[in-house]
């Protein structure tokens, strides 16, 4: 006759077997906190979105995603995009472009973002050069970001700038990342911090998050593969300690986490495994 003790023992072995069979779940286990929402940037599944954006969003929602960055360009109109997002349970949060087009036609972009009822306008590359960056580059970037940030605020939007690894390569006066954060208006210019690129640049994402608490409302979530190349990889498949980062992010009240993985050959596969990882991670 099976006893409660036998049942608990059997259940424990069963759970252990599931975790062993699925390393993503094993990495995600433990802890009491979990992500309430997580999203993805549409480019991670660009080919799939181009082929059938509705089916891609439907699958993403089934995988657990509740938010999206970008993607409206695949629909015939902002209205169609928003209506379908609402139907499947995904909310459009942000979109963006690089500095040059934003400076050239800021109102055009801000109008587009407002039509989509977005919260954030993102400057994905706040530079007019390819780097490495010097002090003069940083001064120009800050001037441009402050100008755009004020205009974004006047249009009811929050401007974010997105980092890469080059902002963590030393220049005449410290790091470009620090310079931008210290010379832009906190009320109008905030950061969409890319966890992978911080680590790739040689800095600690957790320490950057702590250092600039209150300035980073959105995180780009992609992992780093093992090995000297330090290539990017889908979340949960690499070496980045997301638990400590997410724990600090929760403490700060950060609400938006977007999966990103450049040049992903299997967008749907990446979304599926990333969704599984982020649904199950506890911190």
- What burial class does residue 225 get, using C-beta atoms within 10 Å of its C-beta: 0-12 exposed, 13-18 middle, 19+ buried? middle
How do residues 207-247 score in pLDDT, each as one tens digit?
999 999 999 999 999 999 999 999 999 999 999 999 999 99
Mean pLDDT of 120-134: 97
First to last CA, the chain: 38
What tens digit of pLDDT does each residue of 160-219 get? 999 999 999 999 989 999 999 999 999 999 999 999 999 999 999 999 999 999 999 999
Burial class (CB in 10 A: 0-12, 13-18, 19+), 204: middle
DSSP alpha helix (H) spans, the chain: 4-21, 23-28, 46-62, 78-88, 99-104, 106-115, 135-154, 176-182, 195-200, 205-211, 242-252, 267-280
CB atoms under 10 Å from CB of 34, counted, come to: 15
Q: Cα separation of 87 and 89, whole Å? A: 6
Distances (CA, A) of 69 to 1, 43, 146, 168, 265: 55, 9, 23, 25, 19
């Amino acid at each position: 006759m099976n006893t409660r003790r036998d049942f608990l023992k059997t259940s424990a072995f069963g759970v252990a077997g599931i975790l062993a069979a699925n390393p993503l779940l094993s990495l995600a286990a433990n802890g009491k906190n979990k992500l309430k929402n997580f999203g993805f940037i549409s480019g991670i599944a660009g080919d799939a979105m181009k082929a059938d954006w509705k089916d891609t969003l439907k699958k993403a929602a089934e995988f657990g995603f509740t938010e999206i960055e970008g993607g409206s360009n695949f629909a015939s109109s902002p209205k169609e995009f928003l209506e379908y997002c609402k139907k499947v349970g995904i909310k459009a949060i942000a979109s963006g472009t690089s500095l040059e087009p934003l400076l050239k036609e800021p109102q055009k972009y801000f109008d587009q973002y407002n039509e989509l009822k977005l919260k954030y306008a993102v400057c994905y590359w706040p530079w007019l050069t390819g780097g490495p960056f010097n002090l003069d580059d940083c001064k120009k970037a800050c001037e441009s970001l402050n100008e755009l940030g004020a205009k974004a605020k006047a249009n009811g939007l929050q401007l974010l700038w997105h980092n890469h690894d080059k902002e963590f390569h030393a220049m005449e006066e410290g790091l470009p990342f620090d310079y931008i954060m210290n010379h832009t208006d906190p009320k109008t210019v905030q950061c969409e911090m890319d966890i992978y690129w911080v680590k790739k640049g040689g800095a600690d994402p957790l320490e950057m998050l702590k250092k600039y608490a209150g300035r980073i409302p959105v995180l780009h979530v992609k992992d780093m593969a093992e090995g000297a190349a330090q290539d990017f990889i889908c979340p949960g498949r690499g070496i980045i300690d997301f638990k400590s980062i997410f724990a600090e992010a929760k403490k700060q009240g950060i609400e938006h986490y977007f999966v990103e993985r450049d040049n992903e050959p299997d967008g749907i596969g990446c979304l599926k495994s990333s969704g599984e990882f982020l649904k199950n991670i506890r911190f």
